[in-house]
Structure 1
Amino acid sequence: MACFAVSLVSVVTELLDNSKQDTVRILGCQTLTNFIYSQTDCTYTHTIESLVHKVCKLARQSGEDQQSLRASSLQCLSAMVVL
C-alpha cells in the first residue's frame, strides 16, 4: 500500500497542477477524495495535508464554467475534514 499511496499522490499532484483542462483537475480531486475515503487509519494524513493548499486554490475558482471544478474541490476538502 505504501508504494501505491506515494505513486497515487504524485499522480494526483500532477492532475491538480494541470491548469489547461478543468476535467483533468476534477479527476484529480475525485481521485484524491476516493483515496481519502479508502483510508482505514491516518497513515497518509501528512501526505494528504500537503495537497490542501492546491485544493483550496481550486475551490476559490470563480466563473460559470468553473462550477464543476469548485464542487469537486469542495467535496475533496470535505473529505479531508472528515479524515
Structure 2
Amino acid sequence: ENRRLIGAAEAEAHAAHVAAYADASPAVLLALAAQELAEQFPNIGTLNITPDLLSSALAQLTKPRTAGDDTTAPAQGPA
C-alpha cells in the first residue's frame, strides 16, 4: 500500500513537472536543456556535438524576434 501511494505521488509530481513546460517556447526549452547539460558537465566523460546540432541550437537562440513573433506561444508538434 505504501509503495502504491509513493508511486502515485511520484507520478503526480512528474505530471506537474511536465505540465510546467507544456506552454514554454522552444527557445526556453532549449535554454533549460543547456542549463541542465551544463550542470552535468563534471559527470560527463565525453560529449560529441555535431556541427549541425550546434548551428541549429545557436540559430534558435540568436534568431531575431519580429513584431508578430510570439515566443510565448506553445510549441506545436507534428500534425
TM-score between both structures, scaled by the size of structure 1: 0.36
Structure with the bigger percentage of helix: 1
Name which one, 1 or 2, has greater alpha-carbon Rg.
2
Identify the structure with bigger relative contact order (alpha carbons < 8 Å, sequence gap 6+). Answer: 2
